[in-house]
């Protein structure tokens, strides 16, 4: 199962390092990544494989949201099917 | 991989534009629970609901977490209860209490289906059942009731229309300590549908399967946002944008509905394409109409703008779901839509205009507070008018009206939560007592004979 992890917030050093460390700790594979600064906001979108994840998507989402709060960015984790449903016919 | 724009659009829809799945409603057939005494039937119904809907709340929570789209309400609809109570007339409230208890045990927000379908004729047990509605609504918290009094095929049962005026008054009286709140849980329909996931009118029709998942989507805020950047665009372009937005909203509903039915071992029923507002700012159908170009909802042009909105929502939604059903249209409940509340407060919208609007959208005179001294026959007249619109136009119409005890025009009433608040609106001072007291059955229209 794949999910999209989105990180949005004020740019500062170490965001990618911290988020990818958290994903690696939970054995989540980053399959695609794009990052940019939009209107002064750091915006990173990752497509992640949860096939071999150490625990459930919901639990990992909880850890990422917690991390986001700690480093001051907003982190979303959503099953990719929601984007398939909305944006692909 | 999706484009950045697509991903951020989805996130913004939820974060900034109040996009949500309004309800996952599990329809449960209670026909196997019919026995000849009230207590046994009630106990069996309680057990069956608790067993079937045991996981609905936790599954909805999981889906919300996994897909990142809020699921606001979890609900249950049941077989019209009048079919369950025929052998214990006078004791129907025993069942009502068990249904309410079951709703609380499984943790759903509402349970619908304390209902009777009497569009053509009313049996003695259905009359007894309908007479139990005021007490049933007064002694329960989460149970909703509906009565179908007409259809395009059968005509309008004017005896039932007359009776429902009185039932609404009694319900208001029995819940007068809460400003007639019981009436917010009671709908009178024409052409009621069997797979409606929305309250207060949801019930699980006898033509349905054993356990079915129906999903209602929302999204007035998303449509409103999409139109904000279209200043000066032609109506055709506006309709096109609404269609595209409705498609995206409905696809989400379809995904959630399919996934929920799989996890709850139930059939996937339908996705209801309704645009359902809430009293929150930025989640209003009225504000969409004002964005389209009205000074205020209720003014001239409102019916036309609403007709276009309603039609575009359906066109966009139909392609997005394998099975569309329920009420599927834009809702215009007064108390549940901040734009409608404001329009009613300043007198921009009246009952007459609301009635006109119901000709082109879903669903009817909905969540309208009227003076507590409105005669029962006048309420019946309102029901008859809406039923006639439904019958003639082959559409569902409804009346959910609250005659607020002890209050009059200029005052307002607060129901709280999704039910919102409403200024009390004036009804016509001219009655229709003699018309309603005639009773009988209004014959079905000529176009019902299609065979």
Q: State how far the alpha carbon of A61 is from the alpha carbons of A8, A35, B115, in Å.
A: 15, 20, 42
Residues 6+ apart with CB under 8 A from B36: B87, B88
Q: What is the mean pLDDT of residues B193-214?
A: 96
pLDDT at B15: 87
pLDDT at B263: 97
Residues 6+ apart with CB under 8 A from B178: none
pLDDT at B417: 84
- Average pLDDT for chain A: 94
Task: Give the rounded percent of residues in chain B with a pLDDT score beyond 90.
Answer: 91
- Average pLDDT for chain B: 95
Angle at which helices A57-71 and A15-25 cross, to 10°: 150
pLDDT at B218: 84
**In 3D, which of B228, B352, B357, B240 has the Cα closest to residue B302?**
B357
- How crowded is the C-beta side of B36, counted as CA atoms within 13 Å? 0
**In 3D, which of B365, B361, B380 has the Cα closest to residue B433?**
B380
CA distance B441 to B194: 23
User: H helices then E strands: how many in chain B?
Assistant: 14, 14
Domain ranges, ordered by start, for chain B: 27-190
Residues 45-74 of A with CB under 8 A from B: 45, 47, 57-58, 61
For B443: left if phi > 0, alpha if psi spans -120 to 50, otherwise beta; the answer is: beta
Q: Would you call B402 helix, strand, or coil by DSSP?
A: strand
CATH code for the part of the protein at A2-87:
3.30.70.260
**In 3D, which of B179, B248, B199 has the Cα closest to residue B407?**
B179
Domain ranges, ordered by start, for chain A: 2-87
Q: What is the mean pLDDT of residues B172-188?
A: 97
pLDDT one-digit tens code per residue, B108-161: 999 999 999 999 999 999 999 999 999 999 999 999 999 999 999 999 999 999
Chain B neighbors of A57, CB-CB under 8 A: 65-66
CA distance B189 to B186: 10
CA distance B353 to B365: 10
Minimum distance, in Å, between the CA of residue B67 and any CA atom of chain A:
5
pLDDT at B134: 98
Q: Do B66 and A57 touch (CB under 8 A)?
A: yes
pLDDT one-digit tens code per residue, B350-396: 999 999 999 999 889 999 999 999 999 999 999 999 999 999 999 99
Chain A neighbors of B66, CB-CB under 8 A: 57-58, 78-79
pLDDT at B106: 98
Interface pTM, i.e. ipTM: 0.92
Q: What's the pLDDT band for B428 if we cut at 50, 70, 90?
A: very high
Question: Does the bond joining B27 to the residue before it have cis omega, within 30 degrees of 0?
Answer: no
pLDDT at B240: 97
Residue B78 confidence (pLDDT) above 80: yes
Q: Do A79 and B66 touch (CB under 8 A)?
A: yes
Q: Do B66 and A6 touch (CB under 8 A)?
A: no
Whether A34 has its CB under 8 Å from any CB of chain B: the answer is: yes
Q: Show the CA angle centred on residue B25, arms to residues B134 and B256, nearest 5°.
A: 160
B371 backbone dihedrals φ, ψ, rounded to 5°: -55, 145
Q: Which residues of B197-223 are buried (b: 16+ CB within 10 A; e: fewer)?
A: bbbbbbbbbeebeebbbbbbbbbbbbb
Measured on CA atoms in the order B99, B105, B106, B108, is the torsion positive or negative? Answer: positive
- The top-level CATH class assigned to B27-190 is alpha beta
pLDDT at B351: 96
Task: Give the rounded percent of residues in chain A with a pLDDT score beyond 70.
Answer: 100
Rounded to two decimals, the pTM is 0.94
Q: What's the pLDDT band for B329 if we cut at 50, 70, 90?
A: confident
Whether A83 has its CB under 8 Å from any CB of chain B: the answer is: yes
Complete DSSP assignment for chain A: -EEEEEEEEE--TTHHHHHHHHHHHTTPEEEEEEEEEETTEEEEEEEEE-TT-SS-HHHHHHHHHHHHHHHTEEEEEEETHHHHHHH--
Residue B175 confidence (pLDDT) above 90: yes
Q: Would you call B97 helix, strand, or coil by DSSP?
A: helix
Q: What's the pLDDT band for B219 if we cut at 50, 70, 90?
A: confident
Angle at which helices B285-292 and B302-320 cross, to 10°: 110
Residue A27 confidence (pLDDT) above 90: yes
CB atoms closer than 10 angstroms to residue B62: 18
Region of poorest pLDDT, from B32-36, B96-100, B387-391, B446-450: B446-450
Whether B255 has its CB under 8 Å from any CB of chain A: the answer is: yes
């Amino acid at each position: 199962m794949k999910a999209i992890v989105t990180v949005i917030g004020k740019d500062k050093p170490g965001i990618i390092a911290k988020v990818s460390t958290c994903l690696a700790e939970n054995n989540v594979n980053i399959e695609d990544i794009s990052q940019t600064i939009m209107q002064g906001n750091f915006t990173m979108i990752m497509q992640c494989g949860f096939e071999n994840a150490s625990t459930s998507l919901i639990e990992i989402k909880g850890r990422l949201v917690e991390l986001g709060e700690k480093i001051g960015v907003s982190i979303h984790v959503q099953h990719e099917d929601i984007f398939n449903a909305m944006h692909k016919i | 991989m999706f484009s950045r724009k697509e991903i951020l659009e989805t996130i913004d829809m939820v974060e900034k534009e109040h996009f949500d799945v309004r309800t996952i409603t599990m329809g449960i057939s209670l026909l196997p629970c019919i026995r000849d005494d009230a207590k046994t039937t009630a106990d069996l119904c309680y057990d069956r609901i608790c067993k079937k809907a045991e996981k609905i709340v936790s599954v909805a929570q999981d889906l919300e977490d996994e897909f990142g789209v809020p699921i606001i309400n979890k609900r249950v609809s049941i077989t019209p209860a009048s079919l369950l109570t025929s052998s214990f007339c006078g004791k129907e409230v025993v069942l009502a209490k068990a249904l309410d208890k079951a709703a609380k045990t499984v943790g759903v927000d509402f349970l619908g289906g304390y209902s009777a379908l009497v569009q053509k004729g009313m049996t003695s047990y259905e009359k007894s059942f309908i007479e139990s509605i005021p007490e049933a609504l007064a002694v329960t918290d989460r149970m909703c009731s509906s009565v179908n009094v007409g259809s395009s095929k059968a005509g309008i049962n004017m005896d039932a229309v007359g009776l429902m005026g009185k039932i609404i008054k009694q319900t208001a009286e029995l819940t007068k300590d809460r400003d007639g709140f019981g009436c917010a849980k009671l709908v009178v329909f024409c052409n009621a549908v069997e797979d409606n996931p929305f309250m207060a009118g949801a019930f699980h029709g006898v033509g349905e399967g054993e356990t079915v998942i129906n999903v209602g989507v929302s999204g007035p805020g998303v449509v409103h946002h999409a139109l904000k950047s279209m200043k000066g665009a032609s109506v055709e372009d506006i309709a096109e944008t609404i269609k595209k937005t409705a498609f995206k909203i409905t696809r989400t509903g379809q995904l959630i509905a399919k996934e929920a039915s799989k996890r709850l071992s139930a059939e996937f029923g339908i996705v209801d394409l309704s645009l359902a507002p809430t009293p929150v700012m930025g989640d209003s159908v009225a504000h969409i109409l004002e964005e389209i170009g009205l000074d205020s909802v209720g003014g001239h042009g409102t019916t036309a703008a609403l007709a276009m909105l309603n039609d575009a929502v359906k066109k966009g939604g139909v392609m997005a779901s394998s099975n569309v059903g329920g009420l599927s249209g834009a809702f215009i409940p007064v108390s549940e839509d901040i734009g409608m509340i404001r329009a009613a407060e300043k007198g921009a919208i009246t009952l007459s205009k609301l009635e006109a609007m119901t000709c082109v959208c879903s669903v009817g005179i909905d969540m309208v507070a009227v003076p507590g001294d409105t005669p029962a026959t006048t309420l019946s007249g309102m029901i008859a008018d809406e039923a006639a619109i439904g019958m003639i136009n082959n559409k569902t119409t409804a009346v959910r009206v609250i005659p607020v005890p002890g209050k009059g025009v200029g005052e307002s009433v607060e129901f709280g939560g999704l039910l919102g608040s409403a200024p009390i609106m004036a009804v016509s001072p001219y009655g229709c007592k003699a018309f309603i007291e005639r009773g009988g059955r209004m014959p079905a229209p000529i176009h019902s004979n299609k065979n």
